[in-house]
Structure 1
Amino acid sequence: MHLKYIEIHGFKSFPEKTKLSFEKEITAIVGPNGSGKSNISDAMRWVLGEQSTKSLRSGKMEDVIFGGTVKRNPMGYAEVTICLSNEDGRIEDFDEEITVTRKFYRSGESEYLLNGALVRLKDIRETFLNTGMSRDGYSVIEQGRVAEIVAAKNTDRRLIFEEASGIAKYRYRKTEAERKLQKANENIERLKDIFDELDIRIGPLKAQSEKAREFIKISERKKELEVTLYCDTIDRNRKLLFEQEDRIETAKGDYQNAESSLKEIEQATEENFRKISNIGEKITLKNEDIYRLSEEITQIEKEVATTESDLANTEKQIESLRTDIYDIEGSTSIITLKIDAKLNEIEEKKRELNGIDSDIEKMESELEKLSIEGDERNRQIDETEKELLALYSEDTEIKVSIATIESESRTLENRLNELKTNLPGYEKDYKVAADEMSKIEEFLKKLSIEKSEVLNTIEGHESLLSKRQEKLAEYEKQIDDLKSRISRIENKIHIFNEMEKNMEGFQSSVRTVVKAGRKGILRGIVGPVSSLIKIKHGCENAIEVALGAAMQNVIVKDETSAKEAISMLKSENAGRATFLPIDIIKPSNFDAVNVLELEGVVGIADRLVQCDEGIKDVVSNLLGRTVVAEDLNIASKVAKSMRHRYRVVTLDGQMINSGGSYTGGSSSKSSGIFGRRREADELKKELVKLSEEDVNIVSRYEKLKAETNELQANKTVYESELINVNSKILKAETEGKYYKTIVEQTKNIFSVSRIEMDNVLKEAGEHERILAKRKVELIEVRDRIKLIEENEASKKMADDSFSNEKIILSEKISDLKILRVRVSKDIENLEQMMKLMEEDSQRSIDRSRSAEDTSNNLIKLNEDRKEIIEGRKRDIESLRQNIVELKKEIENAVNERLEIEKNGTELREKQNRVSRDRENIAKEISRLEERKISLQKDFDSAVSKLWEDYELTKQQADLLTVKYESLTKLRQDVSTLRSRIRALGTVNLSSIEEYKEVSERHEFMKNQMDDVRKSMDQLNILIENLTVEMKEMFIDSFRKINDNFKRVFTEMFSGGSARLYLTDENDILESGIEIDAQPPGKIIKNLSSLSGGEQALVAITIFFSILKVNPAPFCILDEIDSSLDEVNVSRFSRYLTRFVNETQIIAITHRRGTMEVADVLYGVTMQEEGISKVLKLSLNEAKLAVHQD
């Protein structure tokens, strides 16, 4: 057997699942201090059941769970699993592999698993007893444990020796046997106390049981006779009930027929009401249509009036435009006359120009002749003449140019004066038109805003009107529904009042007495019980069931009144009645007041009703011994708590009678007098509520209707205002178009005139400059001519006359040419002026055409308006015709409604007649029901008695009946038996069973005591045997360990002597164990005198000696070599190799010598702070790899 692996998860510094596998070789676990290698040995001790947190180097058990680091979160549990090979079958009843798992949660819960199955810690410990693997064994030896072996008391030291000797298992069994023996002693003392108590009770119980048997015998006979009596009563009443039910069914059939007729009448009435409502709705809709059409006519009339007003305004605009056209045509005519005058003037100038041209041509011809004649004479002065001629020509040209410029300047000046005169008028016209257009645009903006506001207001009114009309329709429907419901409820209340007035549901005898009391025939009649009490809401069914037939009992003032009433009933043969005299009836006494504190108890019945102070005792007598509970389960508990001494009824009418019998089933909520009265009260409350609701809704309806009418009127005002605004907008838009045309025209004329004026000014300035220049040139030319003429005067003296003639002719030609130029220029100026006049004329024509177009548009607009007016008038006529037709339809609907209402009157008369018939039938049914109730009460009373007394149904009771001579004899026998039972006095029926039970328990306890004594004897024998066997085994193993200790000590210390001995050989199983060790060359009296290393080596020697006697499957040595020097480490490690075949060695060490003998190394590191990691290295494989290299 050996350890195959250990798996650690969440234990101390191993948060990750870590598995260490082991072979039968020596394994060393190495690592620096603080790396967590000792946590592996702690995990092994923990999984094998170690409970001491001190041994596990922890403050509390929770500390074994990984607590987290800076980088890692803490875990919620710790888990360790070990797997053992059991191939050699050392541990019996297990397979070849044994796994042990221990889990511990941070919540404190713990689990142990053995081969995957949940087990107890006790099971784990028992499994590994005598294997060295138990909690006190030596399979895990740490450094502290080594020191304890030497330093411990001699009595504490023996635990490891007991484990090695194999008696631990026997000691465990002995301890268990002693514990059982102690428990047996305690049990026999307890059994003896019970036996003595039963022995005292058995005698009296025997006498009581015999008396009880006699009671049962008499009761059985009494039961047979009483059951027979009850069955006879039940059979007789059943027959009568069947007959009564037949009569009731017949009456109910008649009542049902009346109900059906009433339903048909109600349906017909509702149909009439529906038709009337529909006709009313139609009339309302028609009236609304008439109102709507009237409003539409009013609206159209307003539109027509507005359109006619617009038509008149437009006519005025057309007239104004015609006046403007006339004025424009007049000014155009004047311009045309001016143009004609200018044309005539131009023609005159052209004729003048033609005459000048003719004169020039003639004079030039004459001049040419003179020139030809004077060629010879003038040849000498040709040069001079030519020069003079050129100068004359230049002079003439300059004069003509000056005359032309002066003429053009005058024309320009005239045009400039004309433009200056006209421009202010154009500018004024433009500003006036622009101002008017701006005012119209501003006015249109205001009208647009006003229109939007009016439209929004109208839309808001329409939305509110729609909602309010919907709400009005909803109110009308609610009012109609409420009227219908109120009518139905009033009819029902009337029926209930009539039933109450006629005392329907009461026995005829009760009605007779009460009526006699009301008339004064009888005195002292207070009234029926049901009429004098008022029941708490919700308790009606319970009180009605509790009272039963007593509801119709008549309360009277005194005994005399009761006798008088009975006498009257008897004399008139009016039936029977029960009377309750106030001066005799006493209140009930209810002593089980503690039940009122129970959950689900409503109260005592008499406290759940209200009545006059004078009849409280009577009510208490009737209801004071009845408890009201919420349901049957609670009622059952209450009845049991009162030992069935009082009645208990539930809110739904189930009843547990005194004695324990149950009465119940289904019932109609309004079947009785209380139910009828309650229903009438509820209907009255509902009627008040509905009436208030009706008044409230009608008030809200009227208020909303008034608000709606006001809203409609406001909407009409705003619609009229909208028509007015639209009319203003149309008028303003027409005027705006007119003024826009005027602005554009005046703007164009003003702009053209300004441009022309600028051009004229510019041209006049240029003319002045040229004129000044030409005048300077003219002076220069004339000065030259004068100089030449003076120089040549002497030469030409002879030819003066000829020359003078020629000169005069030339001057004439020159003057004519100048005149010609001036006339040409005048013609040109006249043509220019005429062109401007033509343009003015054309502009006037354009203005006239624009005004004419606007006038034509307005005329067309008026024609359209006239057509619209005619169409709208036709619409008005059509709407008025529709109104007439609607009024005819309303008149027809009113006639139809009158006809339906007449039919409704006939239906109501029929309904009243059928209702009276139904009420008479209901009275008959009530009378029959009263008789049936009386019979049923007698029947139920017999059935209840049968159940209350014997818990028998009728079917069961029929099997127990006996034959009898007569009912009288039967009743006498029953009375005799009851007397015999009373004579027995108090009987304890449970004493029979109690006696039987006590007798059986008495015998059973006696047998039990005998059995316990036998088991105690067996346990004492077992303890003695175990003690003997333990002594033999311990002495044998102790001797072997001592021999081994002597031999191993010599080997480990290279000499010296040592022995183990018992401190008390007379008490081997409790004796302490002493160690005597003498290292070579030393005399030691006390082990504490040894050095730390020597003490450790002594402890190791004892450990090795034990392993030789009883090898453990594995042994984990946790740094037990840490205090040894190198020499002793070498001895220690060499000696370890001797146990390889018997024990698997796992050494946790950091000593080189121990590592050298290991076949496998596990390295434990802490690369991450607080987290242990494990690395494995096989030294044999490593050595082989080195040799191969």
Structure 2
Amino acid sequence: MYLKRIELEGFKSFADRTVIPVERGLTGIVGPNGCGKSNVVDALLWVMGERSAKALRADAMDDVIFKGAEGRAAAPYAMVEVILGDPEGKIVEAGGELAVGRRLFAGGEAEYLLHGRKVRRKDVREVLLDTGLGVQGYMVLAQGKIDAVLAANPEERRSVFEEAAGISRYKARKHEAKLKLKRVDQDLARVEDVLEEVSRAVRSLRLQAGKAKRFVEMRDRHRELRVRFSLADHATWSQQDKELRVQEGELEKQVESLRTERDQVQLKLAELEKEESVLRTRHDALRSEAGEIKEKAAGLEERVHGLETRASEGETRIQRDRLRLTSLASEKQEDADAASGLLEQQTRLSDGLAKTEIILKEAEAAFAEAREARRSQRDRMEGLRRTVLDALQERTRWNNEIAHAAKRRSEAEGGQSALKRRRVEIAAESDSSHKEFEELGLSLSGLVTGAETAQETSSKIAQEVSRLKDERSGYGKVAHEARQRRASASARLEAFQAIDEEMPGVPDYLRKFLAAKHEGVGGWILEDVHIEQPWDRLLENLLGRLQHAIWLHDSGAAQDLADGMYDFFFPMKGDMEPAPAITGTRALRSLLSGNAAACDSLCARLGAVYCAEPDVDVRSLAQQHPQALFLSASGAIQGRGYLRCGVLAEDSTGRLARRNERDLAAKTLQESQIEFDRAFTLEEAAAESLSSADIAAGEAEIVLRKAVADREDCRARFDAVERRAKALKEELSAMDQEAKQLAEVVQSTTKVESDAAKRRDVIEETRLRSNQELEQLQGVADEKDVSFESASQAQQEARVEHSGLETEFKHWRTRHAELLTRSEKQTREHGSLETEITDLDKGCVALREEAERARIERTSLLERRVEIAGRVDDAFAQLHRASEVLHGARARNADESGHMERLLEKRQGLALEVQKIQMQLDELIRGVVEEFGQPLEDLARSLEIDIESPLPEDADAYAWRQELHQLKKKIESLGSVNLDAVQELEDRQERETFLIRERDDLVAGKTNLLDTLEELDIKCRERFVETFQKVQGEFEHIFRRLFRGGKASIQLEADVDPLEAGIEINVRPPGKDLRSINLLSGGERTLTALALLLAVFQSRPSPFCLLDEVDAALDDANVERFVDVLSDFTGTTQFLVVTHNRITMSRCERLFGVTMRKRGVSMVVSVELDQVAGEGELDLSNAEAVDPARARLAQGASADRVVVEKEMEAG
């Protein structure tokens, strides 16, 4: 691989799209400081995936976007793209290009690009692995990084060797494998936790399934007893309610009689209360009037005191105002004296202002005359200066014209010499290209045939691999489905087995009876009776508690029975008569199989029972055959005046249904096991075939890739030779035309030089004459300046004096205005004080007269108060007599009300009893509805309980009520019951099986990952040791070349795994002892580090390398040796050198000058130094070579100076 070009746009100072084409060999990047050379280095690091802003010489990543400059707006994004050629087809097709790009938008959005398509940073890293390119590799070597190789500790130096060894790909895979291993460990821990939880749930559900059966049986018995006692309690409470309502009616009549008498007494009481109220109102009015007179007298006394106080204050204020009048007269006399002095000052200021105005006008006239004279002299001199400047500009223009013509003539003459040399080179190159073209044509024909054959073989093998993968996938899917069915069936079998072992709902005394194994006892009646679905659940529902009946071989075996209810069946005597046939149905006996005697006994106990399919109208059959009972496959039982629906909707199952489902699960288990074994065998066979096919496919792919690579390499070389021959032919044609143009340029530029020299001499004579006249006028201008300054000074002094008098006159006016204002204010205050004194005299007299009238009115009010006090005492005596009469009437009314209250309380007690009984009845009915979801009467009818007589005559009500309480306690002790336990058990067991399989898969995956890590360690170790040994040999050789002798070596740490060992560096420069690298000088450290890095390049060359001022610490002799060594690598690696050293620049094959035509915006100027001929002449075969900057570089001028000249020339 090799670097073809670098494209930058909006990156740092490269605002415009800039393309830097890179050829093979040594390329230099030069330019003044701060022009953007290092930005090219940053661009390469950034596009290869650098994520540290500090490494890119930035504070934040968005600092790489062009921020704007003078006259240039900021760029919307930064983009860098490098195009790599791949002639060997390592990454892309042989002879193709690999385009790697990176783009960052101002909004923060970033993206990586491969061939223009968006990819991840990881994808770019994987593509460039083991190529030597990347942020962590040795693609870019800066001065700081060179020194960091030596400054780093032994462990940190490994990164360069690992990149050279090509183990970066393996380390990346190892890192991914470790991450996968960590995730597998996490997944395995989670699966173990979940599996443990599911296993606990399975054990719990097995118990819950049995618990659910017991719950259903106790619930049914509890419901029956609850309904019977609810009906009995309802009847009792209804009778008590009737009796209490009769007593309540009698009390109501007595209360009505007492209420009439009480109303009459209350009318009389109201009259007495009205009379008492009138007397009380009169008494209160007299007391209120006496209080008002008292308050009014007190108010008059306070008013007298206030009026006298106000009169005293008025007299005090009159005295104060008379003192102020005396003070105002004194102030008025002082202001009159001050006004007389101001009139004298006014006269003096007016005379002074008139004199200064005359002086000021005379000074201004003299100043204007002097200013006009100076301006006239200056205008004349300015005209002469413009004439001199115009002459200078013209002279410069003609000098530039002469220089430009001479430059063009020199370039044209150099181009003519270069064309002659190039013609000789083209002739020799054409002969060699023709021979190579014929040889490559023959080789290409054979390689094309070989590649086609390899392609055909690889396609056939790929088709076979695809077929085998599909086949294995199909078998795997079948095996997985069979495994799931097997797990489900196994779980159901275990659940049913657990339920049968627990025997939920079977009383303990029945279990003990069977466990005793009495002679003649056969076991449960349903053990040897079989019937298909759905008749099994219908029959169980019809049998009820008869499901737990016991089969006896002889009726005499029913002996030694413990307390409890027993149901026995035993063989019938004689043959059972077959049930008459009914169209559309089948007799129950015809569906039963197993123990014939047991089946006959069951049918005899149940009577005429028929089974009908869902499409048969059972209702009509029941009406036609009233003595028969019909079972419908839809889940209904009807006949004999009875109907039960929804039997199949219940979750509970009995012994018959469980046995049928258990048999079905066992059959499913056996079938799924056979199917799983078959699919698993076929899957393993397909996997073995697929493994063999994968190996063959890999081998065919290797052969194909080699054949394609050889073919494409040969084709690329063939095309290159063909293009080169065509280019040579075109170049010869262009050279003929160019030679003709150069001759014309030499002739025209000679004539232009002669004409321009003549015009320049004429302009120079004009300039000298104007310059002499200008010197003569300068003396006159100096005299005019002195006169102007004198007139200006006199004018300024007159203005200052006039301004001072004006300011003083302004102050006089302000003082005069203040005296007038104060005089007017004093006059107004004098008038207001005299008016106020007169008003205050009148007010004091009026106040004292009003106080005397208030004293007279207060005396009159006190006399009236004594009269009203006697009338209040008479009204109080009348009110007391009326109150005593009213109190007696109220006492009689209270006695009658007490008797009526007692009757009301008794009536209320009866009403509460009625309400209590009614609430008990409502609570009873509501409790039944809430508990069972049906009204009490509907429950009684569904359970065939007589509503009028719910408790049989021979029933022990106390024992039944005790049984009801016990059942309630047992149901409550069961707690929450999971009625879906059986189905949940199946689901959880299937989940458990799946988790076990997942755990096994994770364990197998973990083993594979550990094996992969071990294999990667082996490969990394082998490649690292091999590369280290190569670098070890090259390092000493390059070190001796750079130092002209000495010794150097690198070693791995002893007794440490090569994958973990650090790298020690030992050097001995010529003429010195063996020393630590920390004791080396700056130049020695740089040469040592360069020797080590170049040794790495020698062992595994990178496509290109960028050296950023690595020669800065070297003197000229060391630079010569460094460039000599570097030239040995240019055949396999492209080197781009950022430098200021003239020796390094002179050894470069081409130079890129980075400059700033506009401040803040970088541009690139290219120079091909291999086109510079001897003696400093420039070969003009390249169109870009017609540039004096390149000639200056070829002649050894400073690169920075040449770039500056190029920038100035461009304007």
TM-score by length of 1: 0.36
Larger Rg: 1
